[in-house]
Structures are given as C-alpha cells and as structure tokens.
Structure 1
Amino acid sequence: MASLDVQSVFCGTVLNARTCLKEKSVTASEYIRLRQDELTLIAQHKYGLRVSTEEKWKDFIAYLGESAVAFELLQTKCSSPVKIQFDASGGSSKGAAFILYNGARLESIIRTFEEKVAEGSYPSLPSLENTDLSLLTDEDEWSLIFTYIMGLPSLLDSSVCVDESTLVRRHDDRVHEFRPHLICKFLSNMVKLFSQYYRRVRILTEPRQHLLP
C-alpha cells in the first residue's frame, strides 16, 4: 500500500487566557481531560444525554474531548497565539459541543431519510434539474444553500494558500499555508444558522403528494 502524504498543522503558542503567559504547567492529556469533563456536563445538562460507565460511552466522551481540543486550537490563525481558558467554568467547549451536536443531528436526519426511502415512505432524492426549488420559501433555506453548500468549494480553496513564487528546491514543491481557522469559523456560522432553522421548521414530515417531486 502506498504511504499517505500526511501534512501536520500546528497551532500558535498556547497562552493561559487568565495570565496571558505561555502555559507550561498543564499537560496535553490534562487539557484534553478538562474538556472531556466539560463536555460530559454539557451533554447531561444541555442535551439531556445520560452518562454511562460503559466503554462505548467512555470512548464517545474521549472522542468529543479530543475533537473539542482540536477545534479550540485551530480556530485561531496558526501564526497567532492561542488563548486557552483552563478554568473549567470558562465554558470553552460550548462552541465545539454545539458543532458536534448539530453534526450528529444532521447525520440523524440523513440516516432517517435514507431509512424512509428504503421502506418506501419517501422517494429517492431527485436530480437538481428535477427539483422544484419554488418549494424553498424560507430565507434560511437559501442561505444554507448559497452560503454553505455552494460556498464550500470556495472555502476549501481559501483554506489552503499556495505560494506559487516559492519553491522548496529539495522536493521541488510549492509552499502551502494552511488556514484551518477559516473552516472552524465556517462551521460555527453554519451550525448557528442550521440550528435556528431546525427550531422553526420540521424537516422530515409525513409524505404529502404536493410536496413530492
């Protein structure tokens, strides 16, 4: 099997938000554990999830904690210092938790739709050419389509800046500047809009003939 060309993206210097000094006393594992504890509380009190002692639950919280840390470190421009709230009361995981929760919500909607298609309750998705876009009357629907679905390729292009004038002679390769903070901002704004829309509009309804293609 051919080896993958893996690129590592490093964040800026990590500062303690309270002291504004470089953080030296908190290890990476302690930092992740802090976020795992925060997310456990958020899962319980905000999203109503029940804490379990099962390994599956522990693995789930571990994944959430690592994801929250990655998001927190990468949401700041890589060339800038990252200020981290190490106080558990700082609520630093709320943004990441909101994205992860809405990601799970979207996955659930898609999975439920596919199940309904399989059992014959819904028809398969039509092609874009055969879709009646006049059914989309909500401003948020068009914002989600134009800004986030159609805007995704542009975002991905802008998240990697290629310096055409600079070459690394040893590899004869172009120099790339990665901008993951743009993706983090994109995700934050998208889930805010989606959550706003989800609260107002029932997405999966009973199949009605006038709403079907």
Structure 2
Amino acid sequence: RHLVCGPVKTPGSHLTAAQYLQLRRGQMKEASEMKYGDQVEGQTWDDIIRVMTSATVRFELLSTVHTSPVTLDVQREGGVSTKGPRGGVFVMYNCARLHTLFDSYERGVEKGLYPEIPEGSQLDFSALKEEGEWLLLFNYLIPFSELLDQSGQALDGEGGGARVNIKTEQICKFLVSLSKDFSSYYNRVHVLGEPLPHLFNQMFCRLYLLRALRELYHSALDTLNLPPIRQL
C-alpha cells in the first residue's frame, strides 16, 4: 500500500528524499536540544525525535491536495520549532500535553489529592461554561466521525487492484486547527484545580471532555500512521 502525493518542489535546493529526511531529523534534534538541553539523549529521545521527524514530514507532504504540487522550505537555517503553530510538530506537542495532564491527574489520585473520575451520569456538565469547551465539542469532537467518512473515496483500479482517494489535507488541516484552539483553551484554563470537593465536579467534566479529545487525537493521528507521544 502506498500513499502518493503531488510533485515535490524544493526551491533553491536539490535534495534527494534521503537528504530531506536527514535535514528534518537534524533540525528536530537541534530544536529539542535548544529546549531541553542535556536531557536529549538515549533511546527514549531517539524514538521521540524519530516520531516527530515523521510527523513533520507527513504534515508537510500531506497537507496539500495530492493532485497539486508540494513546495518545501528546505533552507537549513530555517529550523523546526517545537511549539509554533506549524503542522506536525505543533499537533504532536499538544497531543503530548494531554498525556501530561492525565499523568498529573493519576499522580494526584495516587497521592490521595483527587478521587477517581466518577461515571458521567453522576456529573453536572452544565459546569462547562467556558466558550472554548463548547468550541472543542461542536467544532471537533462532534464532526470528527463525519470528517473521517468524507476523507476517503474508493476509486476503480486497473487489474483488480484497489485505489482510494484519501483527502489527507483535510485531516491535517483539522488537526492543526484543533491544536490551535486546544492550546488557547489549555493556556487559559487551569484544569486540575485545588483538591477541594466543591471544585471536583467541574474538574471531572473537563477531564471527560479532554479524555475524549485525547482519543480523537489518537484516531486522527492513526489515519496518518503516526503514534502519539507521551512527552515533548
């Protein structure tokens, strides 16, 4: 099985595919070292950089309609940001933030600060009053399944083979837009509040919402054959 994108252009440079991948990996490693310093070593970080490089490349190639040319910026001094709202890195970064959030919650449960999340029927979801919470629900969680249904179209293939027109650009655009709105919400709202009983209902409602969002990220990334990462 192969996924074919349009012609790839690299203005001002003549890189082979292998050189392009090597360039992006080097930029990803450099960006990680600038942010995390000496922590960036060992197999765990090698795996993270490999996945992040793959995410960068896939979003660069698959964010354009596959019948159109893809123009890549391969200037070596350009670098790759680990946080800017630019494609795969930004998406993976925000997916990792959700893992960090739930890891923090689980540690709080182990320390006795928070109780386990109750069943949804026991919660009052009217506590979700932030505009950003409803934006995540109505703009992303609810329409996601329809987006998946529309992103693939089976076509007749020659010689009995199957050919599918996959609109990867829609998935990529959806994930980048989601990540911008989630990042804005997450930077503004303190999800894990003080361990006080009268605050638990709102916290649990938010955790329910964000747990569904984490599952959405995983499903959407899986369509691009990208595994989620737990830290960045």
TM-score interval (norm. to shorter): 0.7 to 0.9
1:182 aligns with 2:170: yes
1:13-52 counterparts in 2 under 5 A?
13-16=7-10, 18=11, 25-45=14-34, 48-51=35-38, 52=40
Distance 2:20 2:146 in 1: 33
Post-superposition shift, 1:92?
Answer: 6.1
The equivalent residue for 1:3 is none
1:109-144 Cα shifts (integer Å, max 9, x gaps): 122223333554323333443331221111111111
1:66 aligns with 2:58: no
The equivalent residue for 1:170 is 160
Greater per-residue strand proportion: 1
1:12 aligns with 2:3: no
Distance 2:117 2:153 in 1: 35
Instruction: Identify which of 195, 199, 202 aligns with 1:207.
Output: 195
Instruction: Identify which of 124, 130, 147 aligns with 2:139.
Output: 147
More displaced 10-residue stretch of structure 1: 78-87 or 55-64: 55-64
Post-superposition shift, 1:168?
Answer: 6.6
* Aligned-pair Cα RMSD in Å: 2.5
The equivalent residue for 2:223 is none
Q: In the comparison of the two structures, how many residue pairs are matched? A: 196
Q: Secondary structure at the match of 1:177?
A: strand
Q: Which has the higher contact order (CA 8 A, sep 6+)?
A: 2
Change (3 A) 1:150 1:64: same
1:121 aligns with 2:113: yes
Structure label with greater radius of gyration = 1
TM-score by length of structure 1 reads 0.79
TM-score by length of structure 2 reads 0.73
Q: Runs of 4 or more off by more than 4 Å in structure 1?
A: 91-94, 166-169
Partner amino acid for 1:170?
Answer: G
Change (3 A) 1:9 1:50: same
Q: Is the 8 A contact 1:75 1:185 kept in 2?
A: yes
1:97 aligns with 2:97: no
Q: Secondary structure at the match of 2:153?
A: strand
> Which consecutive unaligned segments of at least 5 residues does structure 2 have?
202-232
Change (3 A) 1:86 1:156: same
Change (3 A) 1:162 1:132: farther
> Which consecutive unaligned segments of at least 5 residues does structure 1 have?
1-6
The equivalent residue for 1:78 is 66
Distance 1:129 1:8 in 2: 44
Post-superposition shift, 1:169?
Answer: 7.7
% same residue: 33
Greater per-residue helix proportion: 2
